[in-house]
Amino acid sequence: MKLELGVHHVSINVDDLEANLAFYVDELGLEVLPRPDFGFPGAWLRSGPQELHLIQIEDHVAPKGQHFAFRVTDLDGTLEALQAKGIEVSKAIDLPNGRQAFLHDPAGNMLELNEPKPA
């Protein structure tokens, strides 16, 4: 068996669906997708070919260290744009295979911004 098609979606818990929807859609530019009624609050979002699913959980506390990454083509420009919106982001870190920076969503979930090294 080989999972050759990559990751379809990541699901994260949030404490306030509306605040997190505003963050991911208005601030980060993700697209809202249709979502069936599962009987609990949530949202499906698209980022490139992948999806991010938000599930509202009362009293959610973000796990320390756990994160997922968004690939970006211009990390410096992305950091400047987010900082201009008042979003706190870390400084860029150089790695052998690219660069990265970190921020948190309104629920405290950690997000990585990853700029791969050019081929």
Give residue-wise pLDDT tens across range 23-34.
999 999 999 999
Residue 119 above 80 pLDDT? no
Residue 16: which of 35, 36, 42 has the closest Cα? 42
Both tokens of 61, joined, read 């506390």
What dotted CATH number matches 9-116?
3.10.180.10
E strand spans, the chain: 9-14, 31-33, 42-47, 50-56, 67-71, 93-95, 98-104, 110-116
What pTM value is reported for the model?
0.92
**48 backbone dihedrals φ, ψ, rounded to 5°:** 60, -135
Mean residue pLDDT across the chain: 95
Nearest by Cα to 90 from 42, 99, 26, 98? 99
Domain limits of the chain? 9-116
